[in-house]
Structure 1
Amino acid sequence: MANIRKRITKTGEVYYTVQIRLKGYDPQTESFGRLTDARKWAQLTEAAIKEGRHFKTTEAKKHTFADAIDRYCSDVLPVKFTTKEQRNRRPILVWWREALGVHVMADLSSPMFAQCRDTLLKKTSKTGKPFSADSVKKYFGVIQNVLKYAVNEWHWLEQSPLRDKRIEMPELPAGRIRFLDDDERKRLTAACKESANPLLYPAFILALSTGMRQGELMNLYWKAPANPPTETAWGVVHLEQNAILLHGTKNGERRRVPLTGLALQLVKELSRVRRIDTQLLFPSPECPLQPIELKKAWLTALKVAEVDNFRWHDIRHTTASYLAMNGASLAEIAEVLGHKTLAMVKRYAHLSDGHVSNVVASMNAKIFVVCDG
């Protein structure tokens, strides 16, 4: 129950002290200059405590930020993330624990996290290079996830100090876009086809045709394995549907990848001569239960084709670029590549400018009449 007492200072000023005592909760006390404010605070606070919403005076004062990080590591990481992603996140969580772990949840504030941002920008990586804007963004992305659980599921906070983008992040550099021009594509395709490694050519064509990530490509199976990979995405070929179904993708969702044209033809050829000691499409000759290592053959093909400054991941950029230049919308490109939002595919927008111009021109021609002279 709330108890409101009228007080008078030595100078004759009147104020009101409110004390709320509820069984099972710490007493709450506050002072106000007006009686109406005192009554309003007493009413709202008492209701919030009874409904479990007054976190700052209950759970937020009982738990430290280190407690939140420890609970996240034990309850969330093993369930929500692959083994590889767990390894990526744990050092980041250790850093945050050392930086702010001693503070109780109730004391966390936006200025604290702004100071951490500035500290990270001065930090150096294992290679001795300064932390990039992208690295700082990753650190904050991980800790935002911890705070989300503290607010929504554990009720240790009423609201996150990182809500509403209160902390300004350093500006990220423009994403790399390196794709093959027509001549480079022809030379590299020929070099892969002539490679001493017979799996390089079908792997290259499948990557170029579908835009799949290397990890997705190298973990394709003819049928679902009993023990699928836990550190990367994997997929199953469904020739009866002319498609691949990917599981455990980077965005956490299944993705259907159409097979068509030369890529479909090459996969069918692989199915006719596949090994009986493995279900992998691209098995290692020495360890058939492991994916093949194509790095040596790939680097040789690049040298033979005289293609410089090109990585395997750039095949994915090439697919996206070709889609844009052939009139695909950003939403369609995002769907093919498996992105949840358009943010990652906006880098290809300029490649579809001609298509956009045609669409706008067509619309204008239908709704406006232009009179000559």
Structure 2
Amino acid sequence: MSITKLDDGRWFVDVEPIKGKRFRKRFKTKGEAQRYEATVRQKCIDNPVWSAKPKDRRRLSELVDRWAILHGHTLADGENRKRLLYMVAKDLGDPVASQLTAHHYAEYRTRLLAAGANGKTLNNRLGYLRAVFNELLQLGDIDFANPLQRVKPLKLQERELTWLNEGQIRTLFEAIRNRCKTPHVEMVARVCLSTGARWGEAESLVPARVRAGCVTFVNTKSKRTRSVPIDGELESALLQHFQDHGLFSNCRNSFDQTIKTCIALPAGQASHVLRHTFASHFMMNGGNILTLQKILGHGSLAMTMRYAHLSPDHLQDAVRLNPMRGLDTLWQ
């Protein structure tokens, strides 16, 4: 019976109209208890909020599918990220997503670190997987909290940015002229060094986007179109190049192979060193950090601040205001 009489004369209701949703309450009279039981049962029928929701038993790979359908397709690297997320789900054992825990993920990351995985790669994976839960939660496709919310990214030693000096730039272009079969490599590299563009942005230029002393980059990483001024000589050379050789072809691999034959670079760096070189020389020659942010198309100033230390007057107050200033006689 869902209604029983207690020793103290009161009536106790213990009703479970839907499995997982139980109601208990004491009343002075049997009539009150019966009305309460009837009300609870009726509300569970009329109002879904009162009904217990079935547990979400979807596996992590299924949530990746939902993320790809609802959001991933809007990203420029959506397909690549989807494949990576499938791989992560498989490595984790494709658990029921609602049962994934921070502890489970931390153990997985520890195994990969012990196997020699790169810290930045693991931080990227954590960020991508977090984004899946956050996006589906925001869209109402899941109703449980992000299980990775409290997993902290690994603290990594900031890598020193590599850039080319004038001698290395000359060496690079000599190697390009001697080794590269396509004429596009030299011109794309020239655009990157003159504008700070990423290789893919420069490679996608067409004649219509070279005019009025500017080049305009579209389909950028930040999804924002941006224009960067160039000198008349480069503008004329670009237009002549398009007329003589047509649009740029995909020649990044040719550049990457060439630069590795003449300049020693840290692992993982090749064409992007041209962008670093532009930014570094811009700051060393007295450029403004806010102007550089706009030229590079960075969404936040924090990214551009990596180059601030190259400014001639950066942190020079450390020399002017340090406590040893004026105490040179101690070493005489």
Superposition pairs of residues 1-373 of structure 1, within 5 angstroms: 27-29=20-22, 58=53, 61-77=56-72, 79-82=73-76, 85-99=78-92, 101-105=94-98, 107-123=99-115, 130-163=116-149, 166-189=150-173, 198-223=183-208, 237-240=209-212, 242-247=214-219, 249-251=220-222, 253-261=223-231, 262-271=233-242, 273-274=243-244, 280=247, 282-283=248-249, 291-292=250-251, 295=254, 299=258, 307-309=263-265, 311-352=270-311, 354-355=313-314, 357=316
1:354 match: secondary structure: coil
- For 1:174 and 1:245, the matched residues in 2 are separated by 29
* Residues 117, 7 of structure 1: alpha-carbon distance in 2 compared, 3 angstrom cutoff: farther
Letter in 1 for 2:154: P
Deviations 1:104-152 (A, max 9, x none): 52x33322322232233234xxxxxx10101111211221121012210
Q: Is the 8 A contact 1:211 1:320 kept in 2?
A: yes
Q: Which amino acid aligns with 1:141?
A: G
2: distance between equivalents of 1:352 and 1:60? 57
Instruction: With the length of structure 1 as denominator, give the TM-score of the two structures.
Output: 0.62
The code of the aligned residue for 2:151 comes to I
Cα gap change, 1:269 to 1:142, in 2 (>3 Å)? same
SS of alignment partner, residue 171 of structure 1: coil
Deviation at 1:218, TM superposition (A): 2.0
CA shift, 1:355, in A, is: 4.6
Structure 1 unmatched ranges of 5 or more:
9-15, 33-45, 124-129, 224-236, 284-290, 362-373
CA distance in structure 2 between the aligned counterparts of 1:7 and 1:325, rounded to whole angstroms: 87
How many pairs are equivalent?
290
- Residues 201-224 of structure 1, C-alpha deviations (whole Å, 9 max, x = no match): 32222110111122222222235x
Cα distance in 2 between the residues matched to 1:59 and 1:149 = 21
Q: CA separation of 1:7/1:255 partners in 2, compared to 1, >3 Å: closer, same or farther? A: farther
Is the CA contact 1:202–1:263 (under 8 Å) kept in the aligned structure 2? Answer: no
- SS, match of residue 316 in structure 1: helix
Question: 1:314 is aligned with what amino acid?
Answer: V
Counterpart of 1:267, as a letter, is L
Shift of 1:298: 7.1
Question: Residues 185 and 65 of structure 1: is their aligned pair in 2 closer, same or farther, counting only changes over 3 Å?
Answer: closer
Gaps of 5+ in 2: 7-11, 26-42, 321-332
CA contact (8 A) 1:121 1:133 kept: yes
> Matches of 1:153 and 1:184 in 2, distance apart?
51
Q: Highest CA radius of gyration, 1 or 2?
A: 2
CA distance in 2, matches of 1:297, 1:117: 31
CA distance in structure 2 between the partners assigned to 1:325 and 1:257 by the alignment: 22
Aligned-residue sequence identity (percent) comes to 19
Q: Cα–Cα, structure 1 residues 68 and 192, in superposed 2: closer, same or farther, change >3 Å? A: closer
Letter in 2 for 1:205: R
Question: How far, CA to CA, are the matches of 1:70 and 1:330 in structure 2?
Answer: 41
- The secondary structure found in structure 1 opposite 2:217 is strand
In structure 2, how many angstroms separate the alpha carbons of the residues matched to 1:161 and 1:193? 54
Counterpart CA distance in 1 for 2:106 and 2:307 is: 32
Any idea what the Cα deviations from partners look like across 1:307-366, whole Å, max 9, x if unmatched?
4438332111101111222344444433322332344334323212615648xx9xxxxx
Deviations 1:70-91 (A, max 9, x none): 32244433x2234x65135413
The aligned counterpart of 2:35 is: none
Distance in 1, matches of 2:307 and 2:314, equals 12
Following superposition, the deviation at residue 173 of structure 1 comes to 3.2
